[in-house]
Structure 1
Amino acid sequence: MSLFWRIFLLNAVVLLAATMLLLLGPVTVSTPVLFTEALILGGGLAAMLIANAALLRVGLAPLDRLTRAMTTTDLLRPGPRPAVAGNDGIAELIATFNSMLDRLEAERGRSAARALSAQEDERRRIAQELHDEVGQTLTAVLLDLKRVAGHAPPGVRDDLRQVQETTRGSLDEIRRIARRLRPGVLEELGLISALTALVTEIPDRSGLSVRRRFDTDLPDLGEEAELVLYRVAQEAITNTARHARARHLEIALERTSSGVELRIRDDGRGFDGTTEGAGILGMRERALLIGADFAVGPAPSGGTEVLLSVPARLRGAAA
């Protein structure tokens, strides 16, 4: 039965019952209306309105649940679907909404995968250009400065050596940026070594004291999941070093019954959760890409905690 006919018949039943009471019952209306008759009619009207409201509330309850689901659904935080309930029309509407959510989440996942793949390709290209072009140019400049300094007067020689040190520092910084853009150590030595190198590259000027704990017997995750773990850790550590004003940082990678869990905590100024910047949104998208659970919020002892739970790759799955 459609929603229109359901509501129409409910109202028809109420009105028919009121009409039969007036025609067949002892209730009469005088002219002018007596006080007792007005009370009886008013009570009957109130009873009809209450019954009608109760019937409509029951009939439209699934629509209320669907409305709440529509206003609270976030494609970056997939949750349970509304239960398919109610009459045929409402049940079909809820089922259609759930199907639409499935299609939207699938399309968002494909779009995020394409965007993140393009981002990684661009990072590799930039890293390669920094290493091959800028790095080699600065290396040539260093060699020229060394050759010129060997023939320069003593006063000029000291200035040239100072320029050499500045150039060497710039070359080291470019190499560090290239390593962050393209984590070659992740491909060559694995996730643990890559996370260790990431921690050791935290600038001394940040003042962070880092404690790390990495399990070595990790399950098979796959290259894509390992890259997501690395990028999430990289973004979280960068946010802590730049914005958290923290003194201590803890990073842990532990094996769980379903996969691995990455946990990063700091004792900085904390995260209120009201707004999420592009970095956190990017971490959420990466987590969704591999079916991982991502959460960010206040740490138990203050500061901020980033938690990423990655399921292990099924045995026999493609890399």
Structure 2
Amino acid sequence: MILLLNFATLVVVGLYQWCSRKAIKFQPQELADRLLQVQENERHRLSRELHDDIGQLLTAAKLQGEWLQRRLPQDLQNHCSVLCNTLNETLAKVRDVSAILNPRQLASLGLEASLRAHLLKTLENTQVCWSLECQQRLTGIPEEMAVAAFRITQEAVTNMLRHAQAHNLLVRLQRLPEGLSLMICDDGLGFSPATDPGREGQRGMAGMSERIDQLGGTLSVSSQPGKGTRIDALFPWAPRALKRASSPKVLE
């Protein structure tokens, strides 16, 4: 009897442990989705702290510096002016970083205008000639799709500036029957795309793949050393919104 009780106890404990493991086991795609969501939430939190806390402190310091400058002797005003200019530059940088971490304009301006503003700001002091093509209205784009397209473009442009030495950049958005198409093309140095970017150290490309996989889309990267880079992403419409969202609205 004791042996039977011990055996039954072992069976119960084994079943409990097995069920516990099953309960916390995530599929790879589900885990990737959760990690991306955590990453996006953390970006939003950091953006709020930069904008609301650090931004307000810098603004207060700038106002105090301007107040002090008006009351200092002439021989000290130049030093105070340098301090105020430094605070202005720092405040502008903080706002830029906050906007990169959390592109608030996506909700108000939409994807096309947000991308145009980002490209204008990011490339204004570079030698890169860029173009953003979008011949259709992108109304009705789901938020998660717009965020993914923005982040992929953001990462591609950052990689281009760091590594490609490109002179020209083209970004194209198209509303297709099957989904939203994003194409990013540059004439830079190019590279050899990894078959498994995450394992081979291409973290930016791995992040792009994870974002597109999260939405069930496709991503292709065409590049060779010395021949530039082209990235094509397709974000499929959700079934319930397929008919409404895929109807083309050509700008007149």
Q: Could you say whether these structures have the same fold, taking a TM-score greater than 0.5 normalized by the shorter chain as the test?
A: yes
Q: CA distance change for structure 1 residues 204 and 221 in 2, over 3 Å: closer, same or farther?
A: closer
Other-structure match for 1:229? 149
For the pair 1:185 / 2:105, whether they are aligned, the reply is: yes
Other-structure match for 1:214? 134
For the pair 1:173 / 2:98, whether they are aligned, the reply is: no
For the pair 1:246 / 2:161, whether they are aligned, the reply is: no
> Residue 298 of structure 1 contacts residue 305 of structure 1 at CA under 8 Å; is this kept in 2?
yes
State the alpha-carbon separation in 1 of the partners of residues 61 and 179 from structure 2. 49
For the pair 1:258 / 2:178, whether they are aligned, the reply is: yes
State the alpha-carbon separation in 1 of the partners of residues 208 and 181 from structure 2. 14
For the pair 1:277 / 2:197, whether they are aligned, the reply is: no
> Residue 192 of structure 1 contacts residue 216 of structure 1 at CA under 8 Å; is this kept in 2?
no
Structure 1: tracts of 5 or more residues without a match: 1-105
- Give CA-to-partner distance per residue, 1:107-157, whole Å, 9 cap, x none: 111101110111111011100000111101110110011011001122211
State the alpha-carbon separation in 1 of the partners of residues 91 and 100 from structure 2. 14
Structure having greater relative contact order (Cα 8 Å, sep ≥ 6): 2
Candidates 213, 218, 226, aligned match of 1:293:
218
Deviation at 1:236, TM superposition (A): 0.6
State the alpha-carbon separation in 2 of the partners of residues 217 and 188 from structure 1. 15
For the pair 1:196 / 2:129, whether they are aligned, the reply is: no
Give the aligned residue type for 2:227: G
Other-structure match for 2:227? 302
State the alpha-carbon separation in 2 of the partners of residues 170 and 242 from structure 1. 22
Task: State the aligned residue count.
Answer: 211
Deviation at 1:220, TM superposition (A): 4.1
State the alpha-carbon separation in 1 of the partners of residues 112 and 238 from structure 2. 17
Give the aligned residue type for 1:127: S
Deviation at 1:316, TM superposition (A): 4.9
Instruction: Tell me the C-alpha RMSD between the 2 structures.
Output: 1.9
DSSP 3-state at the match of 2:170: strand
State the alpha-carbon separation in 1 of the partners of residues 123 and 232 from structure 2. 23
State the alpha-carbon separation in 2 of the partners of residues 282 and 273 from structure 1. 14
Candidates 216, 226, 238, aligned match of 1:313:
238
State the alpha-carbon separation in 2 of the partners of residues 181 and 230 from structure 1. 11
Larger-Rg structure = 1
DSSP 3-state at the match of 1:201: helix
- Give CA-to-partner distance per residue, 1:164-217, whole Å, 9 cap, x none: 111101100100100110110012221112111111111433321111102333
Other-structure match for 2:47? 127
> Residue 219 of structure 1 contacts residue 259 of structure 1 at CA under 8 Å; is this kept in 2?
no
Q: CA distance change for structure 1 residues 265 and 208 in 2, over 3 Å: closer, same or farther?
A: same
For the pair 1:138 / 2:58, whether they are aligned, the reply is: yes
State the alpha-carbon separation in 2 of the partners of residues 276 and 209 from structure 1. 29
Q: TM-score, normalized by length of structure 2? A: 0.78
Identity of aligned residues (%): 31
Give the aligned residue type for 2:218: D
DSSP 3-state at the match of 1:296: strand
> Residue 171 of structure 2 contacts residue 183 of structure 2 at CA under 8 Å; is this kept in 1?
yes
DSSP 3-state at the match of 2:235: strand
Q: TM-score, normalized by length of structure 1? A: 0.62
Give the aligned residue type for 1:302: K
State the alpha-carbon separation in 1 of the partners of residues 85 and 184 from structure 2. 35
State the alpha-carbon separation in 1 of the partners of residues 232 and 142 from structure 2. 19
> Residue 218 of structure 1 contacts residue 255 of structure 1 at CA under 8 Å; is this kept in 2?
yes
> Residue 221 of structure 1 contacts residue 313 of structure 1 at CA under 8 Å; is this kept in 2?
no
Structure 2: tracts of 5 or more residues without a match: 1-25, 195-199, 243-252
